Structure 1
């Protein structure tokens, strides 16, 4: 009995030390935060109330707790004078989803605004603070994620983990990326530009696999897709074979502000003819690649994911691997599902992913069922994120290792 009592006391002591350590590590808890805010609001003296509010704000900023995160709870916070403060982001489709209550409330007697929300504990979410009618980056949050329209602030829930291979390994040799190359398309009636990545040691290599990448100017950007860094890292670590990547840019080469992806990627037969009859033969002629379908991959996100599915199923003799991220099947729903449902037999290695937070999830799940009907090799991934390069870039190692594992 005495021995059991001693054992019990030791366990209590260990548990207490563990809890104390965890509390110190995690900083202020959500209960403490809400109590502090309530106490500050009740202070009668204006100068004392302001001093306490400033002290709390400084503590939260030092602990990287703006926004505040604990378990599955997030509290968006803003400090400043305003008539109205709200938050817009992936969680409300950037104001498109009116069912999400996005307006903040001011803590009485202070200039601190807050909005409490619940997200999966491993979620990563892009957002902006809206002050009256101005959308801004969160001025205290140091974390941000670039999009095709510029940077957004980033909410990182407690269990979310960054992808380390998006950071360049210092000793990893760099492959080569060409300047923009122009190809004159008779099928499209205009010029298209692209860049080509070749791995280190390309001169001594033959019959390399190739991955064609739609929206290539964003996939190749270190702030967005991070694909060049990922290729260099994975090849250096010997996780994948040397690969050639072709980054196709849908923008008008004479006017980068004019993006033609809406027309090109919408089940466009002329774009298909350009791709298969002009671009691919040009790449096969200019670079030491294998023309075998099982060595040829296609990658795209959003409308590019729609187009990847379209080009792949229209040309099953040319593409053996399809990487489809957050596909915007809604854009040409009847056409793309008609094409796939009309397919009785196919042989693709497929990677498909989608976010659970206001992404294109219903159609993606329906297409997953069609791929399962065809008994295709498939890696299907749902992540607790939105329609964001933060999600897509972190999957590049999964895609490349699946297709080109050494």
Structure 2
């Protein structure tokens, strides 16, 4: 209980400080998300709410049949109603059921579900009011045991195991991730790197070569940190095949880097040695083996979370090798801000993509700020330094289910066939 109280205090303190700092900002993105609790005016219009009120007023002996009829008519949870109302429910034999996920303070503050006794079981429920295009992950905790929602057929990928997904009608999954039988596909090589740098030695790199590689010359290259997860969770190879086939991006070579135990330290702390190994050994190796342009303007490095931090630092510290970078839900540090502020002649040649979620992590960014606020400060710092970039904010969480929806946006941002590449 003590740790929960401490965490709650820190969360509220972050919001108070951030509200003070952003009070004079005109940009709507600096505003925090509104409460997920529906107003009285909203909730009384909910058919689900009216059902729970009717159920509560029944004799307990009548409730079980009423719930069973409800479940036949409404087999899936959550129930999404108009006006952003989302209703999560669970029925069974339990004493307590909690909801934990992105909208619960980014997995920090679980909601206790209300319940109504119904004979041999209890009907648990929680009603939320959410943005119309929200997508988020969640789990149920039933008498202390975490599980996906058994009535929710939609599951999202996670390094911690599968999560249930909640989405509102305004969220439309990106079909560019779908496998298409009818299109030509690229091919895959695998390299185990034998390096003098411990940061790279024995690390696996998976290389994507676009369809028709043997007839192509001078390809751009995208390097993807934590690349094996990006292949698995983001359907990255499908996205590349589809975008290239549709001629929405230039044919590109992609290098997917294996994440290894200890990389979090390289990504956030001992990054100098890793960046040196990456730029002075890995990039030349790829250049020797594959047909690339050899230009820093045609190299892109991307990553999520701490991998985004490493990607941004790489272009800022080694613009002789990389001029393009993408970070999704980027972890920020004082070192990152200080590097941006340092003068160097390549600043106006850099191009950076950022996105962050409104329900992103509430801890772990620079100065103990939320990821949402810190990434907006990051965007402001880049703008003040004259570095070309874009920041996009989505009603989502710190999840692969979020990041995979932007893979095509990142590739198009740097490799679009509709305008000349800088």
The TM-score range, normalised by the shorter chain, is: 0.7 to 0.9
Partner Cα separation in structure 2 for residue 38 and residue 147 of structure 1: 36
CA distance, structure 2, for counterparts of residue 189 and residue 124 of structure 1: 36
Q: Of 36, 39, 42, which aligns to 2:54?
A: 39
Determine if contact 1:294/1:319 at 8 Å carries over to the other structure. yes
TM-score (norm: length of structure 2)? 0.81
Cα 1:179–1:65, aligned 2, differ >3 Å: closer, same or farther? same
Quick check: 1:166 aligned with 2:181? no
Structure 1 pair 402–338 and aligned structure 2 pair: CA distance change class (3 A): same
User: Is the Cα contact below 8 Å between 1:69 and 1:158 reproduced in 2?
Assistant: no
Give 1:241's match in structure 2, choosing from 242, 246, 250.
250
Q: Which structure would you say has the larger Rg? A: 1
Alignment of structure 1 residues 67-216 onto 2, 5 Å: 67-93=79-105, 95-96=107-108, 98=109, 102-109=111-118, 111-188=122-199, 190-216=201-227
Corresponding residue for residue 312 of structure 2: 309
What is the CA distance between 1:201 and its match in structure 2?
A: 0.3
**2:302 aligned with 1:299, yes or no?**
yes
> Contact conserved, 2:340 with 2:385, CA < 8 A, in 1?
no
- Per-residue CA shift, 1:55-98, capped at 9, x if unaligned? 1122122xx452444322222211111111000011124542x4
Q: Residue 137 of structure 2 aligns to a residue in which SS? A: strand
Displacement of 1:237 in angstroms is: 0.7
Q: Distance in 2 between matches of 1:299 and 1:245?
A: 11
Superposed CA RMSD: 1.8
- Give matches, 1:13-52, under 5 Å: 31-44=46-59, 46=61, 48-52=62-66
Unaligned runs of 5+ in 2: 1-43, 362-370, 418-422
Match for 1:261 among 260, 263, 285? 263
For residues 269-315 of structure 1, the C-alpha deviation after alignment (integer angstroms, 9 at most, x for no partner) is 11011101111111000100111111110101100110011111000
Aligned to 1:274: 277
Q: How far apart are 1:189 and its partner, in Å?
A: 7.5
Is 1:397 aligned to 2:400, yes or no?
A: no
Bigger mean CA deviation after superposition, 50-59 or 211-220: 50-59
C-alpha displacement of 1:344: 5.0
Matching residue of 1:340: 340
The corresponding residue for 2:287 is 284
Structure-1-length-normalised TM-score: 0.84
Secondary structure at the residue paired with 1:395? Answer: helix
Please say if 1:57 is aligned against 2:71: yes
In structure 2, do the counterparts of structure 1 residues 228 and 273 end up closer, same or farther at CA, with 3 Å as the change threshold?
same
**Tell me, what secondary structure is at the counterpart of 1:308?**
helix
Q: Is the 8 A contact 2:311 2:325 kept in 1?
A: yes
Correspondence for 2:26 = none
Aligned 8 A contact 1:194 1:246 in 2: yes
Q: Measured at CA, do residues 67 and 177 of structure 1 come closer, stay the same or move farther in structure 2, by a change above 3 Å?
A: farther
Q: Which runs of no fewer than 5 residues in structure 1 stay unpaired?
A: 1-28, 252-258
Matched-pair contact (CA < 8 Å) for 1:70–1:157: no
2:89 counterpart SS class: strand
Change in Cα spacing, 1:94 to 1:248, as seen in structure 2 (3 Å) is same
Q: Which whole-Å deviations, capped at 9, do the CAs of 1:148-180 have from their partners, x for residues lacking one?
A: 222100001122111111112231211112235
